[in-house]
Amino acid sequence: MKPLFRFFWILLVLALAQLACGLNNPASTPDSPAAEALPTMPALTQEAIFPTETGLPPQPAVAESRMLTVEFPPQIRAGDSDLIRLTLEVDELGNLTATAETAGNVTQGEVVQIPNIYETHNIVAEARFDMAGVQINPSGAISEPLRPGQTVTYYWSVRAEDVGIYRGTLWFYLRFVPLDGGAEQRQALSAQKIEIEAVNFFGLKAQPARFLGAAGTVVSAILGMPFLEGILKWLWRKVRKA
């Protein structure tokens, strides 16, 4: 009976061992839900470790400094017109200063930064001058293509019919047009405040004042003629003798 007992003992041990393996590994049976293959985790990348802000385009490198200069007359004659100038020129060394084309005009300026994305975008410089109560020509926005190192200049003619102080703003924008046909972007770069006073001459507007000035010039020219002095002296002698 000993060999038979040993045989049953071995079978019992094997059965218990198989039962223990089944309890420790329930995924080993094909009918168990845990037997399905687990999804593999993606490998970590640099983007996953250092995520970037989604939905925002990368900021272009700023490489070109330019001087934006505005020149305007502090006073104009009512009924007359004058010019306002805006210039954008390269300021590589940072030593450009605002200079006036016309004596007596006011100049003001600031250094602005132009993104260096000429290889991927067309850059358009756009300016607009707003001032209530005066006639502005041209009205609306003026656009000029911008190229590396190239100077752009804008002019406006302003005319005030009535005496007074007029305040306005000169806006300057950059438009970025992608070469691949993507969406256009627009960036405001400067807003220059401008104040101009319209004055008159003894209560006269520009046209009557010009006529008066011309008449004064003619009278001065006549009085300055040499023969006129002789005629006046001759008349004075006649008056004294009489």
The pLDDT tens digits for 146-203 are 998 889 999 999 999 999 999 999 999 999 999 998 899 999 999 999 999 999 865 4
Which of 51-55, 105-109, 142-146, 222-226 is predicted with the least confidence, judged by mean pLDDT?
A: 51-55
Largest CA distance in the chain: 185
**pLDDT value at residue 76:** 94
Domains and CATH numbers, the chain: 62-199 (2.60.40.10)
- Please, are residues 198 and 78 in contact by the beta-carbon 8 Å criterion? yes
Asked if the model's pLDDT at residue 88 lies above 50, the reply is yes
In tens, the pLDDT along 7-49 reads 556 666 566 556 555 544 444 434 444 444 433 333 333 333 2
What type of residue sits at position 222?
Answer: I
Q: Strands, DSSP E only, in 116-184?
A: 121-131, 135-137, 141-146, 152-159, 164-178
Say how far apart CA 92 and CA 98 lie, in whole Å.
Answer: 15
Q: What percent of the chain has pLDDT over 70?
A: 54
> Can you tell me the distance from the alpha carbon of 188 to that of 31, in angstroms, rounded to the nearest whole number?
67
Token readout for 133 is 């109560």
Distance in angstroms (rounded) separating the CA atoms of residues 11 and 134 = 111
Best CA proximity match to 189, nearest among 47, 68, 97, 73: 68
